[in-house]
Chain A
Amino acid sequence: MSGTTAFWYASRATGIVALLLLTAVLVLGILVNRQGRLPGLPRFAVTSLHRNLSLLAVVFIAVHVVTAVLDTYVRIPLLSGVIPFASGYERLWLGLGAISLDLMIAMIVTSLLRGRLNRIVWRAIHLLAYVSWPVAFAHSIGSSKDLQQGWMLGLAVACAVIVAAAVTWRLAHAARQVPRAARVAAVFAQHTRTVSR
């Protein structure tokens, strides 16, 4: 599409920034779970950054959607930002964007209400991050000509590689974890001195 309005450019730019932010948010989320640290920063910085960047990402996505709607070259109804497949233009790719955003809204609302929610419910919804990101990625690649070529393609691929690496790290840890029923025995074995007689 060769729309030249400022709105169209703003939408493309904020979309790309949002993808980068979401990549960072997902990696930070895995880092929180693994009790990892960012060099030189206190532990609460990891949780804080994860939280704040996710809110920032939603702001960028809101601008991304609104500017796309305001651009008059193609007709995109506002509601198609959250209602999947409601736009005539690029129905599939925009639909994926809406799905991803819906999942993010669920994650953020439940996180804001964390204290009042059942832990298991909160966690189940938060795990939807692993669905939301790939769907957002597919939306990005599918609907953005920018990302389909040149250095931007490289950028997008880099995001995918980083996410894949982080998820692999997370899964590897889960696979290595001593099952709960065996943990005590493991600690005991570590601390028992074998005495030679």
Chain B
Amino acid sequence: MTTAVNESAPESAPGGAARQAAGLPRLLPALEQDDLRGHLDRYGPPPYRGQPGLLIGDIETSGLTGRGGAAFPVYRKLAIVARARGRKVVVANGAESEPASRKDELLLRVVPNLVLDGLQLAAEAVGATEAHLYLHSAATPEIARALAERSARGLDGLPVTITQAPPRFLAGQESALVNRLAGGPARPAFQPPRVSERGLGGAPTLVQNVETLAHLALIARYGPRWFRAAGTDAEPGSMLATVYRPEAKTQVVEAEIGTPLRTLLSSGAETRAWLVGGYHGTWLPVPQAAGLTLDNDSLAKHGAAVGAGVLVALPSDRCGLTEAARVTGYLAAESAGQCGPCLNGLPRIAAALAELAGPRHRQQVRADVERWAGLVTGRGACHHPDGTVRFVRSALTVFAPEISLHARGQCSATSRRPFLPLPDGIPTSDDDWT
């Protein structure tokens, strides 16, 4: 396939691997909205290989892992789906269900073409016959325009069907996504079989986060060595993180994996604790967290993980227990209510946290929470109870001094303003899941 070279802008001629700087920025080279012509000027058309399977080796060498939270090696999923016979489906998962995450929304607004390139390249690599884009909204103007322009140019191998996800925390979970695409509610299904083996309509389905696909689109152009030039050996590349700091606007930053957390989260203001990995993530004490880096190797030693890249520095004037109780209430309300342990355990845990966040609590509350936490872990069809328990346990550890204060009817916080973002409204009927 010939690549168009734009003579008037030689510094952004595509195909010149040496010219693409190994450093950052990679995903967000410019924050103005990208139209197709600008995209093609900068990157050239998607470098289709002409045959399924050929891209997978490069992805394996690159070490790309999923950027949707699970960090699963991308080449493995590609290989599983590519190996299968018959109909296959690829889905770009843009349903950024974590309320505190803003990166996918930004990516889709600013570089939709990079994501769509990745979707088509992944579709070719696995031999897919169907392509979908899954979003929390209807097609945004940016996406609609990108798809129309690409279609006019004949850039895409497969037409892309857009499906809207309900505003539920679990809507982006792989099997919930497949259920929604099939027309049902976005509730998780029991696995095995994994969706990469049996997904939409029984066909092997590749589900990848939109940021993952954007990285894939760049690796296809610049190669795995270029990708590995940033990040760490074990976890190469860059990632998008959504960062919350006191007295600062919420930011989406692109950072190399392995960046020290303090580079991203330190500010002039005093902070009470840091939350790494979003609402299924881990609270860490600031002195400990300040010595860690943004990669799973470093974070795992403290029971944390990168997740979908949400990083929060909680201001000192807020009450950590209150924030944790608010989020746990949200997480409990977002249970699909399908599995006995989750349905029974999460709301009880949330009510207990609310009690701990209030003045004085009954003696047995902490023991109750620990018992329920043990009962729900690993006993749901999805990892919602597990993630919630990790968030809760780390909160109870980090905010233990607060618990003692509250037990005496006191609190060291001076502001009641909520800090962690949560959507309004809880699901009340089945319609809220479709």
Contact = CB atoms under 8 A, between A and B. Distances in A.
Contacts of B338: 180
Interface in B321-374: 329, 332-333, 335, 337-338, 343-344, 346-348, 350-352, 354-355, 358-360
A172 interface: no
Question: Most chain-A Cβ atoms within 10 A of its Cβ — which of B346, B347, B355, B432?
Answer: B347
A193 B355 contact: yes
Contact of B430 (A180, A185, A187): A180
Contact of B337 (A184, A192, A195, A197): A184
B429 A191 contact: no
Nearest to B433: A181
Contact of B429 (A182, A184, A188): A182
Contacts of B333: 184-185, 188
A191 B427 contact: no
B355 A185 contact: no
A182 B428 contact: yes
Given A179-B429, A181-B429, A188-B350, A195 B358 contact: yes
A187 B343 contact: yes
Contacts of A75: none
B347 A180 contact: no
Contacts of A179: 429-430
A191 B347 contact: yes
Main secondary structure, interface of B, reads: helix
Contact of A184 (B347, B352, B360): B347
A195 B430 contact: no
A60 B333 CA distance: 52
A195 B325 CA distance: 15
Contact of B428 (A185, A188, A192): A185
B426 interface: yes
A91 B156 CA distance: 66
Nearest to A192: B351
| Chain A residues touching B, range | 10 to 19
Interface in A165-197: 179-185, 187-188, 191-193, 195, 197
A136 B426 CA distance: 48
Contacts of A187: 343-344, 347-348
A185 B332 CA distance: 8
B382 to A, nearest CB: 14
A183 B428 CA distance: 9
A180 B337 contact: yes
A184 B335 contact: yes
B354 A192 contact: yes
B355 A184 contact: no
Contacts of A193: 351, 355
A79 B346 CA distance: 58
B337 A183 contact: yes
Nearest to A188: B347
A184 B428 contact: no
A197 B359 CA distance: 8
Nearest to A182: B428
A183 B343 contact: yes
B332 A188 contact: yes
B429 to A, nearest CB: 5
Interface centre among A179, A180, A184, A195 (most CB of B within 10 A): A184
Nearest to A195: B358
B40 to A, nearest CB: 46
Contact of A191 (B351, B358, B360): B351
A179 B343 CA distance: 13
B332 A181 contact: no
The 5 closest A-B pairs by CB, nearest first: A188-B347, A191-B351, A187-B347, A183-B337, A192-B351
Interface of A: 179-185, 187-188, 191-193, 195, 197
8 contacts: A180-B338, A181-B429, A181-B433, A184-B332, A184-B347, A187-B344, A188-B351, A197-B359
